[in-house]
């Protein structure tokens, strides 16, 4: 770690450390804030990091802090505090918890997929986890009621279970590998239900959009749809490599005699492989689209266009936080 000192005004913490217009820049940014080790920090350490960042932004003394240490504190803040509210997010709902939480649940779904009770239980666990993550990482400028959260949760869980049980019945006479892919199809289907329903208030009421200087200029439903669609694609992409490739690997190696003798480790092995996949895929999937999403004013609904043009007809593009 570099010991170059961070003097007041030297580091701009209001923007990410790396260029967000490129995939590689976004990947390095999300690799820093979704690092599973950041889930191990205590609330006290997180609060200290936030205090350091706030003190530096106010021009406070930072002669004892290096540039790298300052960015480390900023990434800790980004990993644990919601960008809209500034409040500390639920521990299990943070993206930094996606690797430990996701590897355990995904590994279990891939291992115990043959019986209906196992399918129902693990899909329920997975959708409970997804609902928490979706709510935690929503665009917090839009409110959602407990009833709407409940409907989203029940709908996503029901769809995942229905798809899993239905496909398991259909593939009983198909090659074994197809049965191993059922959990992924169910997860992908449920994400298409869970995320839009959890964030339905954004679609119904629209979300706040900003000009290039982060001044609010109106609300848009089409901006909400664009952001949520990108999040759905990212979540499916996050799960795809592990849930598609690991079944192929397990189908091959389980045929070896030694693997037949150590069946109890098949489950932990799949969890480990899922963890390796998620260490790369969580930041990669989050990097598919810019976090500060943009949309042309001409592509907004007429009423949103009218509101923005009345304020400043020179505004051609607006921006918003798409959530994760």
For residue 142, what pLDDT is reported? 61
Supply the pLDDT for residue 174.
66
pLDDT at 62 over 60: no
d(CA 144, CA 140): 9
Q: Tokens 């080790």: give the residue.
A: 37
Q: Say what angle helices 221-253 and 98-111 make with each other, to 10 degrees.
A: 50
Higher per-residue confidence, 115 vs 236: 236
Interior/surface letters 151-175, b for 16+ CB within 10 angstroms, e for the rest:
ebbebbbebbbebbbebbeebeeee
Q: Give me 272's structure tokens.
A: 């480990």
Instruction: Tell me the pLDDT band of 9, cut-offs 50, 70 and 90.
Output: low
Task: Report residue 38 as tokens.
Answer: 């950041």
Q: How far is CA 313 from the centre of its chain?
A: 35
List pLDDT tens digits, range 291-324.
888 889 889 898 988 888 888 888 888 898 887 7
Which tokens belong to 270?
């799949």
At residue 63, the pLDDT reads 53
Over residues 170-184, mean pLDDT = 73
Could you tell me where the DSSP H helices lie in the chain? 23-33, 43-57, 67-80, 98-111, 116-136, 146-170, 176-180, 182-198, 200-205, 221-253, 257-261, 266-286, 302-311
Q: What span, in angstroms and rounded, lies between the C-alpha atoms of 80 and 50?
A: 10
Of 94, 193, 199, 88, nearest in space to 142 by CA: 199
Rounded to an integer, the average pLDDT of 13-28 is: 90
CA separation for the pair 197, 83 (Å, rounded): 21
pLDDT at 188: 84
Most confident of 40-44, 63-67, 166-170: 40-44
The pLDDT, as a whole number, for residue 143 is: 66
Give residue 287's region: left, alpha or beta (phi > 0; psi -120 to 50): alpha
Six-digit token string for 254: 């389980």
Number of H helices, E strands in the chain: 13, 4
Task: Please give the Cα distance from 266 to 251 (Å, whole number).
Answer: 11
Q: Tell me the pLDDT tens digit for each residue of 239-265.
A: 888 888 888 888 888 788 887 787 778
Domain residue extents for the chain: 23-81, 92-321
Angle between helices 146-170 and 182-198 (to 10 degrees): 160
What is the value of pTM for the model shown? 0.81
Closest CA to 274 of 134, 108, 121, 123: 108
For the segment 75-95, what is each residue's pLDDT rounded down to a tens digit?
Answer: 999 888 887 777 888 888 888
Identify the three-state secondary structure at position 190.
Answer: helix
- Model pLDDT for residues 144-165, shown as the tens digit of each residue: 677 777 777 787 777 777 777 7
Strand order in the sheet with 207-210: 216-220, 207-210, 317-321, 292-296
Angle of CA points 19, 24, 27, to nearest 5°: 95
C-alpha gyration radius of the chain: 22
pLDDT > 70 in the chain, percent? 92
């Amino acid at each position: 770690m570099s010991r170059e000192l961070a003097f007041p005004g030297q580091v701009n913490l209001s923007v990410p450390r790396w260029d967000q217009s490129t995939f590689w820049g976004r990947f390095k940014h999300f690799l820093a804030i979704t690092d599973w080790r950041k889930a191990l920090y205590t609330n006290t350490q997180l609060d200290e990091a936030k205090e350091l960042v706030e003190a530096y932004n106010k021009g406070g003394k930072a002669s004892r802090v290096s540039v790298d240490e300052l960015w480390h504190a900023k990434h800790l803040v980004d990993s644990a505090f919601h960008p809209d509210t500034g409040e500390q997010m639920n521990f299990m709902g943070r993206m930094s918890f996606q690797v430990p939480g996701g590897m355990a649940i995904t590994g279990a779904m891939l291992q115990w997929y043959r019986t209906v009770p196992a399918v129902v239980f693990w899909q329920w666990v997975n959708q409970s986890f997804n609902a928490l993550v979706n709510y935690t990482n929503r665009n917090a400028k839009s409110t959602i009621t407990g009833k709407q959260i409940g409907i989203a949760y029940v709908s996503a869980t029901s769809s995942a279970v229905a798809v899993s049980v239905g496909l398991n019945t259909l593939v009983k006479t198909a090659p074994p590998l197809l049965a191993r892919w059922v959990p992924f199809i169910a997860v992908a289907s449920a994400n298409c239900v869970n995320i839009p329903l959890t964030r339905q208030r954004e679609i119904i009421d629209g979300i706040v959009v900003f000009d290039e200087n982060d001044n609010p200029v109106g609300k848009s439903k089409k901006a909400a749809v664009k952001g949520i669609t990108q999040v759905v694609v990212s979540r499916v992409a996050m799960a795809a490599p592990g849930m598609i490739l690991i079944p192929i690997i397990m189908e091959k190696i389980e045929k070896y005699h030694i693997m037949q003798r150590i069946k109890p480790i098949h489950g932990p092995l799949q969890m480990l492989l899922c963890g390796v996949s998620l260490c790369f895929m969580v930041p990669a999937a989050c990097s598919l689209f810019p976090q500060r999403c943009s949309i042309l004013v001409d592509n907004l609904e007429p009423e949103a266009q009218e509101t923005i043009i009345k304020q400043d007809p020179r505004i051609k593009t607006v921006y918003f936080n798409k959530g994760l």
